[in-house]
Structure 1
Amino acid sequence: MGRKSARGEQIAACCLVGKIMHQRGVNLEGLRSAMLQIWRTNKEVMIESLGSNIFMFKFAVEADKKRVMGGGPWHFDRALIVLTEPKGIGDIANQSFTHTSFWVHLQYIGSVEEVNTYEDGNCIGEIVRLRISVDITKPLQKILEVETEDEGSISIPILYERLPNFCFCCGLIGHQYKECIEYKGQPKEDLP
């Protein structure tokens, strides 16, 4: 591995790249002020605009980066921030920003007949809480259909924690229904 490649990987080790899923441009100073207040990192975070609402977040220590990456989802001005970890400096331009993790609740839907327990005796109660990676290029799933042992299925509502603004019309993150092409009556086939 060359010196240049090793240096790029070292820099990337303390960086996150994020895209703010907003229809309009994001003010760098406003973002910097908000995120420093929300994240409350132990050391300073440098934020650099890469254009098109994409930003590089340079953390002074890797522990701060890991805490931020695991603590989301984060949003700015109610718009989702999709964070990714670049493998190297050259990798930044190749980020897709298609997935982010959400904590979701699968809610109680009937009387409990049996509860599975883990080996240590812990059990799942009326609500199951999971952290999952969600493809934000597709509409948010609102119901989970689960097959039962008797070859039927049950519907389980999904509740997302810390959900940013999204479109109630098409279910996509990144715009609200007032900005939605489907809401305005244009069929999907006519979209560019």
Structure 2
Amino acid sequence: MLKKLVLKDEELDDVVLPKEDVVNLKEGARWMAVVRVHTTRHFGNQPFFQKMDVAWGFAKSWTIRPVEDNLFILQVSCLGDWNRVMNDGPWIFRQMGVMVEPYDGVADPASVVLNRLHAWVQVRGIPPLFRKDDIVRDMAARIGEVLGAEMYALGASGTSFVRVRVKLDVHKALTRVVGLHPEGSERLMFQVLYEKLPKFCDVCGLLGHGVEECEDGVHEQSALQYGEWMIAPMEDWHPNSSGVRMREPPRENFRGGRGGGRGYGAADSRKRPPGATPPRAGKGEAATPGAEGRLMLNDGQGDPSARKNLDIVLAAEKEGAKVGDASPVKPDTKRPRMSGSNSDEAGSVEGHRQEQ
């Protein structure tokens, strides 16, 4: 409408902002996001603020204000709180997904597209040969927009899997499997599990409604192609970043002197002081085992006899596997989580936490 107006000279007398002021304003708009709940149902703002206050559990002060019905602007005060909002989801309110996208503080908040839900997914059963970043990302792109991937995540159950951070399109059915077809070989199918999800339909696989709300709500059992079996076991949520470690070569592989002292044997050609143990691969490094080296997965139990050797053997001439911390840790039970069953905790009425 404004484009049709014939403006007067005084209406064209703009307020000019110096560059320094613009820089300061942008600094004040850091860590700002727009938020929407994926639902067509009405809900009160204060109950939403209270529930999310508990779920987010921010360390510093934060503010949230409504822009219009079911559209909010959130701003936090530190990088740690920002990373929590953007990386620890999916966030859930009354069994519905909470969609969050960065906001620059300039554009119309209503113009920000909010149709994707941040989530962690696990792809089970990918052999070590195919656990390469480019291959995994190509497969994960069938699930959603890929934000990051961990090749060797290890859950508390002792299971190793590929873990991917994605943005799920709430207007598309959830992905249950992804396939890989090496030329000249049979097609491989891998199951996709989700680390927590809001309500979704067992018939159409869409987020935001249940099976009884899909069409007329009456469905044959054979029509239920989705379900709770798509949710990863809770003990495997937030797994250790890696369950891979290098096994130390047997003692006889070292050429020791009299009395059994360790030398520089064939198992480790790198020179090191006598008595030093072989260096362990750090997080994000690649391990290249020797001729007799073997990569094993540790299930985290204190008793070595209870550890599960998954017998992952990689040849020395291959590129090697991504490795990281060897000792898995159980999910932090003190960290507040929200799900369809526990999303109604009480919290701050004001939706604003002051720095302690």
Q: TM-score range by the shorter chain?
A: 0.7 to 0.9
Map of 2:106 onto structure 1 = 89
- Structure 1 residue 92: deviation in Å? 1.4
- Structure 1 residue 83: deviation in Å? 0.3
* Letter in structure 2 aligned against 1:57: L
Helix, strand or coil for the counterpart of 1:33?
helix
Helix, strand or coil for the counterpart of 1:65?
helix
* Letter in structure 2 aligned against 1:171: G
- Structure 1 residue 8: deviation in Å? 5.8
182 and 84 in structure 1: CA distance in 2 versus 1, 3 angstrom threshold = farther
* Letter in structure 2 aligned against 1:141: T
* CA deviations over 1:155-177 (Å, ceiling 9, x no partner): 21110111111112211112222
- Greater displacement, 175-184 / 45-54: 175-184
Instruction: State how far apart, in whole Å, the 2-side matches of 1:123 and 1:97 are.
Output: 29
Map of 1:147 onto structure 2 = 181
Is it true that 1:172 corresponds to 2:179 in the alignment?
no
- What fraction of aligned residue pairs are identical, expressed as a percent? 24
Q: Output aligned runs, 1:36-115, within 5 Å.
A: 36-108=53-125
Instruction: State how far apart, in whole Å, the 2-side matches of 1:5 and 1:91 are.
Output: 18
Map of 1:26 onto structure 2 = 43
- Structure 1 residue 16: deviation in Å? 1.4
- Structure 1 residue 126: deviation in Å? 3.7
Is it true that 1:136 corresponds to 2:184 in the alignment?
no
Instruction: State how far apart, in whole Å, the 1-side matches of 2:77 and 2:110 are.
Output: 22
Instruction: State how far apart, in whole Å, the 2-side matches of 1:43 and 1:116 are.
Output: 39
* Letter in structure 2 aligned against 1:104: V
TM-score, normalised with respect to structure 1: 0.78
116 and 94 in structure 1: CA distance in 2 versus 1, 3 angstrom threshold = closer
161 and 7 in structure 1: CA distance in 2 versus 1, 3 angstrom threshold = same
The structure that has the greater radius of gyration is: 2
Instruction: State how far apart, in whole Å, the 2-side matches of 1:130 and 1:99 are.
Output: 15
Instruction: State how far apart, in whole Å, the 1-side matches of 2:118 and 2:130 are.
Output: 26
Aligned length: 180
Instruction: State how far apart, in whole Å, the 1-side matches of 2:64 and 2:128 are.
Output: 51
* Letter in structure 1 aligned against 2:214: C
Structure 1 or 2: larger strand share?
A: 1
Map of 1:190 onto structure 2 = none
* Letter in structure 2 aligned against 1:71: D
Give the CA RMSD over aligned residues: 3.0
* Letter in structure 1 aligned against 2:106: I
* Letter in structure 1 aligned against 2:107: G
Instruction: State how far apart, in whole Å, the 2-side matches of 1:55 and 1:145 are.
Output: 38
Map of 2:144 onto structure 1 = none
Structure 1: 5+ residue runs without aligned partners? 186-192
Instruction: State how far apart, in whole Å, the 2-side matches of 1:153 and 1:87 are.
Output: 44
- Asked if the contact 2:67–2:109 (Cα under 8 Å) also holds between the matched residues in 1, the reply is no
Structure 2: 5+ residue runs without aligned partners? 1-15, 134-149, 153-158, 220-356
Instruction: State how far apart, in whole Å, the 2-side matches of 1:66 and 1:126 are.
Output: 25
